[in-house]
Amino acid sequence: MQPVSAGGVKKILNLPDAPEQVKSGITRLLQQKGEVDFYDVYYLT
């Protein structure tokens, strides 16, 4: 698995057009796993 960089995660979370479901999913995964990988982002979108 390829983790998304902290900067990449921050950009996604700050996008005004990103659905709240995606943002909350990323936040939840960060709490559970400590990182988010590209597959996680793909799955959430």
Instruction: Output the pLDDT for position 1.
Output: 78
Q: Which H helix or E strand runs over 1?
A: none
How does pLDDT run across 1-45, given as a tens digit for each residue?
799 999 999 999 999 999 999 999 999 999 999 999 999 999 999
**How far is 39 from 9, CA to CA, in rounded Å?**
13
Residue 40 CB contacts under 8 Å (≥ 6 apart), including other chains: 4, 25, 26, 29
